[in-house]
Amino acid sequence: MSSRKSSAFLTAEEMELRLAKERERCDRYLLHFSMIALEWNAAPTKSLLRSFETFLTGRLRLSDEAGFLRTGGIGIILPMTDAEGARKVLETVQSFAGHQSWPIHAEVYTYVGYKGSDTDPTECGDDIEDLHALDEPSESLEMPKEHCKESLLRMVAKPFPKWKRACDIAGAVVGLIVTSPVLVIACIAVKATSRGPVFFKQMRCGQHGRPFAIYKLRTMVVNAEELKALLHERNERDGPAFKMKNDPRVTKVGRILRKVGADELPQLVNVLKGDMSIVGPRPLPISEDMQCASWQRRRLDTKPGLTCTWQISKSRNISFRDWMRLDLQYGSRRSLLHDVELIGRTFIAVFLGRVGH
């Protein structure tokens, strides 16, 4: 193989940028790449790392890259390389590690451009690229498949900002204290007017595809999920999400709670637990998320939230694709000022009664 253009490892920040660029390239042109992730229990010495750099310089191609991973260890990016090719490279790496008495743990991932989407890459315009992607851990050594899939997404996605987590904790604590009288009254109203539990719990798809239980005040009859199948033909939304303007499953109190968004208040507990953020894409039920096109699931790079652009839009009757594009736009524009703006607009939407389902 030809020699590398540089023998130095990329920094963790440079590696994240390189992974993101490679992912977008594969998404746009329906290509693929593989990555070898190396980890160890005890950090290698500087001399061992220098020897490893020298080894990689003679082993990898000009287009390959190696660098430190934010999650720990070293990653080796192999463009246009399938799982079999990556495993061959890994064999040589393991051979080097064996000769150096260097115990390593290795995982091989293959990222494949998705060819089964129903969306044309030219439809999204200039602001949002149409991203077709399928995260496929091709080989896992000593780790469950789902964990490996999540690990790859964590490596590719931007890290969750510390400022955002701090704001989430403060906002959730203050929110629970301020809204506690509303919650108490709402709980009494739900319990007094309909049969069933006060709270509703449902599995949703969270950041990096990790499932979590979302909490809400119950606004529907107890057998709402069973009745949903009977109402499927009356769905007023395109795509996998379900919506009916006059859903017969919603109780009278439930309609009031939905109108002002009070049914969402228990999700402040989800924010405290770290499953959700104050601002972020609304999490979909797992059954609906599984029906999304792969480019739409790029929204899972961002932690789901209580409110986001779509949630407070003047018109929420936009197409499902446009909803997904708004979520992707938020992920690319995420900042403290933007979050403050969206929170302010949320309060206005609540006052105007525009946050209903």
Residues 115-134: pLDDT tens digits? Answer: 334 443 333 333 323 223 33
Q: Which of 307, 265, 306 is nearest to 181 (CA)?
A: 265
Instruction: Note whether 325 and 124 are within 8 A (CB).
Output: yes
Q: What pLDDT is stored for residue 262 in this prediction?
A: 92
Q: Which of 285, 284, 327, 338 is nearest to 302 (CA)?
A: 327
How much is the pTM? 0.66
Q: What is the DSSP string of 55-108?
A: HHHHHS-TT-EEEE-TTSSEEEEEET--HHHHHHHHHHHHHHHHHTT---EEEE
Q: Which domains does the chain have, with CATH numbers?
A: 12-156 (3.30.70), 162-351 (no CATH)
pLDDT class of 236 with cuts at 50, 70, 90: confident
Separation CA 129–CA 139 (nearest Å): 29
Highest-confidence segment of 1-5, 223-227, 234-238, 335-339: 335-339
Q: Which of 320, 326, 285 is nearest to 307 (CA)?
A: 326
Residue 347 identity: F
Residues 28-82: pLDDT tens digits? Answer: 777 888 999 999 888 889 899 999 999 998 899 999 999 998 778 899 999 999 8
Q: What pLDDT is stored for residue 5 in this prediction?
A: 46
Higher pLDDT, 116 or 4: 4
Q: What pLDDT is stored for residue 357 in this prediction?
A: 58
Phi, psi of 199, rounded to the nearest 5 degrees: -105, 150
Phi, psi of 247, rounded to the nearest 5 degrees: -65, 120
Higher pLDDT, 246 or 117: 246
- Whether pLDDT at 148 is above 70: no
Q: What pLDDT is stored for residue 10 in this prediction?
A: 92
| Per-residue three-class SS string for 189-203 | HHHHHCCCCCEEEEE
Q: What pLDDT is stored for residue 53 in this prediction?
A: 92
Residue keyed to tokens 């938020």: 330
- What letter does residue 10 receive in the DSSP assignment? B
- Whether pLDDT at 113 is above 70: no
Largest CA distance in the chain: 75
Separation CA 320–CA 323 (nearest Å): 5
Q: What pLDDT is stored for residue 192 in this prediction?
A: 94
Q: In what order do the strands lie in the sheet with 134-139?
A: 65-68, 74-79, 32-39, 105-112, 134-139
Q: Which of 181, 179, 93, 99 is nearest to 141 (CA)?
A: 93
Mean pLDDT is lowest, of 5-9, 20-24, 216-220, for: 5-9
Higher pLDDT, 152 or 266: 266
Q: What pLDDT is stored for residue 2 in this prediction?
A: 43
Q: What pLDDT is stored for residue 214 in this prediction?
A: 96
Residue keyed to tokens 């149409």: 130
What value does the mean pLDDT take over residues 180-199? 94
Can you tell me whether residue 239 is helix, strand or coil?
coil
Separation CA 139–CA 148 (nearest Å): 9
pLDDT averaged over every residue in the chain: 81
Residues 280-329: pLDDT tens digits? Answer: 999 999 888 888 876 787 788 899 999 998 888 766 678 888 898 899 88
Q: What pLDDT is stored for residue 150 in this prediction?
A: 46
Please state whether beta strands 305-307 and 277-279 pair in parallel, antiparallel, or not at all (unpaired). parallel
Angle formed at CA 355 by CA 257 and CA 305, multiple of 5 degrees: 100
